[in-house]
Structure 1
Amino acid sequence: MSDTPSPPSTWEILERRWRAGFHQLTEEEQQTIALWWLEAETMNGTLDQFFWNSAGDLALVARAGLVRLQQHTTLQALDSALAHFGPGYPTDRNRRIDMLEAIEAEHGEDVFEAPSRIIQDLPEDFVAAALEQLAPRYAREQETAQPPAAKGDA
């Protein structure tokens, strides 16, 4: 049994990089975080919770990730919910909350229930797909960060 620690997972690397600052992440990394929030908030509540919380600031970033990853079923569900906001989805939370209240007053509190259920059924594991795309890049970075083996090491 080796005392060598196992290499960090893709998520662990992303999380470490995220702690250094979201805006320092690459576009793909930001999309992965946004997709993680989409899943976490929707699974914990509904898309209403995702939009209501600060995670909703990243809705368009999550949407871009779904497009890039070709996650068509989840994209359709998110798009059907985003359509209620009309053109120009508000990334400002206070403005978005005002819009959410108006949307729910007009369409009922369960307006986001159907698209939420689609995402909650997880027809596509979009977070795993995003992490899978980051994994080769992180592996290359890990390899180049490794010091060369000393002679005699095998």
Structure 2
Amino acid sequence: MSITDSPTWQRLEARWAEGFEQLHAEEQEAIALWWLEAETMNGTLDQYFWNSAGDQALIALRGLHSLGMPVTLLAFSAALALFGEHYPCEREARMQVLETLEAQHGDTLFLAPSRVIQDLPEDFVQAALDRLQVLYATL
């Protein structure tokens, strides 16, 4: 069964339809981590950062940390560090930084950390859903 077909994901989607901001931190992290995996697997972190999914990068980072995913956390942190001290969560601002970064360093800048995440050393999306299943049992 696909993760998005699971009862836990279905409940998450129903709650998400009411608005992202009203979700519990664990739910926001699950969504942000799903997008991190989906975009990185479909392309690379370059694609993730160029798209609106990259707006949630700091939430994904928090999720990797709270779930104890050290290998993925290290790779993702290395990619985020390329943006400098303050990651631009707004897409338009991030696109300007990406244009500068790619002009200076080429479009393979995020390839190494992308490969680490694509190897899935830790199943962070499943871990996020497992945590939600426990949370939902208490609500």
Classify the TM-score, shorter chain.
over 0.9
> 1:1-154, aligned counterparts within 5 Å?
9-141=7-139
Instruction: Point out where structure 1 has 5 or more consecutive residues left out of the alignment.
Output: 1-7, 142-154
After superposition, give the CA deviation of every residue in 1:13-63 in whole Å (9 maximum; x if it has no partner). 111111111111011110110000000000001001111001100000000
Q: Which runs of 4+ in 1 moved over 4 A?
A: none
Secondary structure, aligned partner of 2:86: coil
C-alpha distance in 2, partners of 1:50/1:13? 25
Letter of the 1:98 partner, please give it. Q
Secondary structure, aligned partner of 1:61: helix
How much does 1:137 deviate? 2.1
How much does 1:92 deviate? 1.1
What is the root-mean-square deviation in Å for CA atoms of aligned residues? 1.0
Letter of the 2:41 partner, please give it. M
Identical amino acids, percent of aligned pairs: 60
How much does 1:9 deviate? 1.2
Q: Number of aligned pairs?
A: 134
Letter of the 1:10 partner, please give it. T
How much does 1:110 deviate? 0.3
Structure 1 or 2: more helix by fraction: 2
C-alpha distance in 2, partners of 1:103/1:78? 17
Give the number of the structure whose alpha-carbon radius of gyration is greater.
1
Letter of the 1:133 partner, please give it. R
What does residue 3 of structure 2 align with? Answer: none
